[in-house]
Amino acid sequence: MELARLDARNRLAAAVSMLAIMLLVAGAGSLFLRSSFWGQQSVEIRIPPPVLFVLSILVILLALYLVRRELETRKLTSLVIEERLLAESEHSAGMIDPVTHVFNRRFLPGLLQGEIARAERNRRPLTLAMCDIDRFKQVNDRYGHVVGDEVLAGTAAILKSCVRGSDFVVRYGGDEFLMVLSETDEPGANAVVARIREKMTEWVRSRELGIGLSLGLYVHQTGQSAVEDIAEVDARLYGAKRSIRATAMQE
């Protein structure tokens, strides 16, 4: 709507400017070339009634045409804007996971490639953190998928609360999440992990669900691709899970 109004205002301003120029030229001619411009001090115009009637009709038709054209232009502009907004809305909605309200896996390739390029260009660290929920299947089996979805949503909320606005949380699949921590080295990522573990422990204790969180970290190395980075952090996550299982068996 704003573009339509602006377009109408521009056309109106152009018409007014043209009329003003014509009046200015006529006024200058009447002042400096009075005798040759007008020929006399007063002007008397005589138009036969039929001619005046025809001219009036033509002016009315022209005005109606201009109004109709203006309305059509506004309508087309509004439709274009609405279609663009709808496309952008659908595109954005397609990148958000409906259960956890974080980015979904389809958003990840472009995001990670862009973050890698920025980190290497600025020579700044970039760390990936992948986590999944321990014993999540047991929660689903025992309490049902409604409670399972609540666990996923609660975990995602904790992850988002522990990272900065410049970082990203992505639901990688199932109960796995990937965090892209821009301009963060390993000590900084470990601090983020510590906050996550603390909040997760409090949240789980209040609900007595018996779940936990396994996390793996990987600092991007110059020259590696997004696929290689994900494979590295995924391997570290499963290394952490194996360590947890081994500790549990020893106990």
Same-domain check for residues 220 and 115 = yes
pLDDT surpassing 50 at residue 240: yes
Rg (CA), the chain: 35
Most confident residue range from 29-38, 86-95, 167-176 = 167-176
Q: Has 7 been annotated as catalytic?
A: no
Give pLDDT tens digits for 31-60: 555 555 555 555 565 666 666 666 667 767
Strand partners, 212: 134
Would residue 99 count as lying in a domain? no
Cβ–Cβ under 8 Å, residues 176 and 130: yes
Same-domain check for residues 147 and 232 = yes
Which of 93, 126, 144 finishes a domain?
93
User: What pLDDT does residue 27 have?
Assistant: 53
Strand partners, 197: none
Would residue 109 count as lying in a domain? yes
Same-domain check for residues 228 and 112 = yes
Give pLDDT tens digits for 197-220: 999 999 988 888 889 899 999 999
> Taking Cα atoms as reference points, which of 200, 193, 186 lies closest to residue 151?
200
User: What pLDDT does residue 85 have?
Assistant: 54
Same-domain check for residues 12 and 125 = no
Provide the number of structural domains found in the chain.
2
Catalytic residue, chosen from 167, 175, 185, 229, is 175
Predicted TM-score of the model (pTM): 0.64
| Side chain identity, residue 125 | P
Residue 242: give its domain's CATH number. 3.30.70.270
**What residues have CB less than 8 Å from 134, skipping those under 6 apart?**
211, 212, 213, 214, 241, 244
Same-domain check for residues 12 and 71 = yes
Confidence of residue 16 (pLDDT cuts 50, 70, 90): very low
CA 78, CA 1: separation in Å to the nearest integer?
Answer: 6
Of 164 and 86, the one with more pLDDT: 164
User: What pLDDT does residue 42 have?
Assistant: 57
Q: Which domain holds residue 115?
A: 105-250
